[in-house]
Structure 1
Amino acid sequence: MQKSLNNNVCNENRFNGLFNKYAKDLHHFLYYKFGDHLNPKDKVQDAFIKLWQNCSTVSPEKAKSYLYTVANNLMLNAVAHQKVVLKHQKIKPTEHSNESPEFLMEEKEYRKKLENAIANLTEAQRVAFLMNRVEGKRFKEIASLLDISTKAVEKRIYGALKKLREDIEEL
């Protein structure tokens, strides 16, 4: 019986260790890939719940891969659901501000340009760029999180910067 506990993540201490080790990076991965509007914190929690429910079938060595796969699939399902919801509903945002209408219009246009430019990056470039520029992670940290070489991270980030400069003249 002791041997079977060593081959899965059903041990509470081992599970807590996995949570402490991977939860923050998993959240950042989901946030950079999908944004904040789909609530990546909930998807991280749901992924760990699924890991606990299937703890007897997941080895500690496979736990990280399992968590990232489950969380990514949960986010993809949420994206698909949101597309259906948006099809059947029109969203009318209302903004109230003390800024001048010209400033608000320029800010909105710039934000839209920036969001479109970031959205036009490849997924690999977007994830690496946001991890580096928003979260402040070093190339080596990003490389270990994404399981790629440091040179690949450099290439992705520099490619993203080049594309962003082309798409947005003001940057």
Structure 2
Amino acid sequence: MKVLLDDFDKQYIAAIKNGDKEAFAQVYEHYWKKLLAISFQHTKNKEMAEEIVQDVFISLWQRRSKLEIEHLSSYLATAVKFSTFKMLDRTRRQEMIRDAVLPKDDHQLDEEVIDARFLQEYVDGIVEKLPERCKLVFQLSRKEQKSHQEIAEELHISEKAVEANITRALKMLRINLRRVGFSLFLFLFL
């Protein structure tokens, strides 16, 4: 019987690698409920389990030409278990962050507040890496709301130097935030 199963797997794997959508649909129909049961057993959440199984199938299709699979059922079951544990870990981390960020009596999490805090921490991290003078000028300008003239007088530099340092700091922030997709946030933040 094992030989037949291996032949079944090999035929479907080869067909999927060649982009056979019909074979993929048959594999999907054959394994969907079994994989959903595996994921649901760990998540106890039908929607989350469905999303995980869907993502595994999407990944299978997108990476079909690169995958080296011997036993399709074992591969899919392992992929679903791994994805389930990854999702549960991510969910637990989010819950830990919520508990750490918000007071213990207020568990109504406002995602915008958390996003703003993460963004602020990220920006602060970028500012910390700026050259000392540039960092100081930027902090005086943005955090202490001092004018260019006040900063220039306090640091004994010209207003042009203040302006140049702020421009340099903003440029570094834009570059770093653009890399992680926060361009819009930068506009709103500054």
What TM-score, normalized to structure 1?
0.45
Point out the structure with the larger helix share: 2
When Rg is computed on C-alpha atoms for both structures, the one with the higher figure is: 2
What TM-score, normalized to structure 2?
0.41
